[in-house]
Chain A
Amino acid sequence: QVQLQESGPRLVKPSETLSLTCAVSGYSINTVNYWGWIRQPPGKGLEWIGSIYHSGITYYNPSLKSRVTISVDTSKNQFSLKLSSVTAADTAMYYCARVNGGYTFGYYFDYWGQGPLVTVSS
Chain B
Amino acid sequence: SSVLTQPPSVSVAPGQTARITCGGNNIGSKNVHWYQQKPGQAPVLVVYDDSDRPSRIPERFSGSNSGNTATLTISRVAAGDEADYYCQVWDSISDHPRVVFGGGTKLTVL
Complex partner residue of A46 from B89, B97, B101, CB under 8 angstroms: B101
Collect the chain B residues with CB atoms within 8 Å of residue A51's CB: 99
Q: Is the CB of B104 within 8 A of A45?
A: yes
Q: How far is the CA of A85 from the CA of B100 in the complex (A)?
A: 24
Q: Which residues of A contact B88 (CB under 8 A)?
A: 46, 108-109
**B70 vs chain A, min Cβ distance (A):** 12
State which size class the interface on A falls in: 20 to 34
- Nearest CB on A from B77, distance (A): 22
Which residue of A48, A104, A108 contacts B45 across the interface (Cβ within 8 Å)? A108
Q: In whole angstroms, what is the CA distance A72 to B58 when docked?
A: 34
A46: chain B residues within 8 A (beta carbon): 35, 43, 86, 88, 101, 104
Report whether A59 and B44 are in contact in the complex, using a CB–CB cutoff of 8 Å: no
Which of chain A's residues have a CB closer than 8 A to the CB of B42?
A: 95, 112-115
Partner of B33, one of A104, A108, A113: A108
Closest beta carbon of chain B to A12's beta carbon, Å: 21
CA distance A38 to B100 in the complex (A): 11
Report the nearest A residue to B95, measured CB to CB: A62
* A-B contacts, CB under 8 A, total: 72
Interface presence of B31 (CB below 8 A)? yes
Flag B9-50 by CB within 8 Å of A: 1 or 0 each: 000000000000000000000110101000001111100110
A101 touches B43 (CB 8 A): no
Question: What is the minimal beta-carbon distance from B27 to any residue of chain A, in angstroms?
Answer: 11
Judge whether A36 and B31 touch: CB under 8 Å.
Answer: no
Which residues of chain A have a CB within 8 Å of any CB of chain B? 36, 38, 45-48, 51, 59, 61-62, 65, 95, 100-101, 103-110, 112-115
**15 pairs of residues in contact across A and B, judged by CB atoms under 8 Å:** A45-B101, A45-B104, A46-B86, A59-B98, A103-B90, A103-B92, A103-B97, A104-B92, A108-B33, A108-B90, A109-B35, A109-B88, A112-B42, A114-B42, A115-B42
**Extra 18 A-B pairs, beta carbons < 8 Å, given A48-B98, A103-B92, A109-B45:** A45-B86, A47-B101, A48-B100, A48-B101, A59-B97, A59-B99, A61-B99, A62-B98, A95-B42, A103-B97, A105-B31, A106-B89, A107-B99, A108-B31, A108-B49, A108-B90, A110-B48, A115-B42
